[in-house]
């Protein structure tokens, strides 16, 4: 029986603490969530690692926009991975494509080897690939451990059918994790439709009195309660 896992994506130490206290299983740490996530600053990485006891995966993405990176950007990614290892993070999150819409297997494999023994997630750049099943095989061959996907749709619930097909095709060779629009309102339906066990959410809400985005404890609790039932059923 596979264990269900809830990863919460945050861009501040405060949000990470909220997620940890609410019972999240893992943190994805990044900057610029509104732009899809980029590499957090060294200061955020260092303080976040000191304050959070949960496993933390750090985003390695030098800029927003497309996923075709120039030589200097790729070098920056390698340096950031070295920092993530130095600070003893548990994993990294990457995504690289070629200009033909295929996974950049060569560069992905190079980053996976550089990151070893850290866990490597290929993020939603996957959803921009031309052929999801070829991309799946390419990412597996490059050595990644998890694919984060919304099933090539705007939200994971809309892409549930493809996510389920990817789960079947992966056949245990890689984790398929659903992300984008995952909430306490749809996670059970998503789990039942896809048969996956790994979920990714930001659980964010504007807190007007603090003028910031924070993971809201009650939302995470609600999702975790549902996941607990999923674990019991599966």
Categorize the per-residue pLDDT at 110 as very low, low, confident or very high, splitting at 50, 70 and 90.
very high
Q: Report the percent of the chain where pLDDT is more than 90.
A: 80
> Average pLDDT, stretch 167-180?
97
C-alpha distances (whole Å) from 60 to each of 17, 197, 219 are 21, 24, 27
Task: Give residue-wise pLDDT tens across range 11-53.
Answer: 999 999 999 998 899 999 999 998 999 999 999 999 999 999 9
Categorize the per-residue pLDDT at 1 as very low, low, confident or very high, splitting at 50, 70 and 90.
very low
Categorize the per-residue pLDDT at 5 as very low, low, confident or very high, splitting at 50, 70 and 90.
very high
pLDDT over 50 at 209, yes or no: no
In this predicted model, which residue has the larger pLDDT, 215 or 170?
170
Residue 229 has a pLDDT of 61
> Average pLDDT, stretch 177-184?
94
Task: Give residue-wise pLDDT tens across range 133-159.
Answer: 999 999 999 999 999 999 999 999 999
| Cβ(226)–Cβ(201) below 8 Å | no
pTM of the shown model:
0.90
Distance from the Cα of residue 82 to its chain's centroid? 19
Distance CA 190, CA 181 (A): 11
First-to-last CA distance in the chain? Answer: 6
Encoded tokens for 19: 């997620």
Distance CA 27, CA 7 (A): 5
Among residues 185, 40, 36, 3, the alpha carbon closest in space to that of 15 is found at: 40
C-alpha distances (whole Å) from 48 to each of 43, 62, 64, 119, 157 are 8, 19, 22, 18, 31
What architecture does CATH give domain 5-233?
Alpha-Beta Barrel (3.20)
Residue 214 has a pLDDT of 44
pLDDT over 50 at 170, yes or no: yes
Q: Report the percent of the chain where pLDDT is more than 70.
A: 86
Q: What are the domain boundaries of the chain?
A: 5-233
pLDDT over 70 at 227, yes or no: no
Distance CA 12, CA 217 (A): 15
């Amino acid at each position: 029986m596979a264990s269900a896992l809830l990863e919460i994506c945050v861009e501040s130490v405060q949000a990470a603490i909220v997620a940890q206290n609410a019972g999240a299983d893992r943190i994805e740490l990044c900057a610029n969530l509104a732009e899809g996530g980029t590499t957090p600053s060294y200061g955020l990485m260092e303080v976040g690692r000191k304050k959070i006891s949960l496993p933390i995966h750090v985003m390695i993405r030098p800029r927003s926009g497309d996923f075709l990176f120039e030589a200097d950007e790729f070098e920056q990614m390698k340096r950031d991975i070295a920092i993530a290892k130095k600070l003893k993070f548990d994993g990294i999150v990457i995504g690289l494509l070629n200009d033909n819409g295929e996974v950049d297997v060569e560069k992905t494999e190079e980053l996976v080897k550089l990151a070893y023994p850290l866990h490597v997630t290929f993020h939603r750049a996957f959803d921009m690939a031309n052929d999801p099943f070829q991309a799946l095989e390419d990412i597996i061959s490059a050595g990644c451990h998890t694919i984060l996907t919304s099933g090539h749709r705007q939200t994971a619930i809309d892409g549930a059918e493809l996510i389920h097909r990817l789960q079947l095709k992966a056949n245990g060779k890689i984790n398929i994790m659903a992300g984008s629009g995952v909430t306490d309102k749809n996670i059970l339906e998503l789990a039942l439709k896809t048969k996956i066990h790994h979920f990714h959410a930001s659980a964010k809400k504007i807190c007007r009195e603090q003028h910031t985005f924070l993971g809201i404890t009650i939302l995470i609790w609600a999702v975790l309660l549902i996941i607990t039932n999923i674990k019991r059923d599966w």
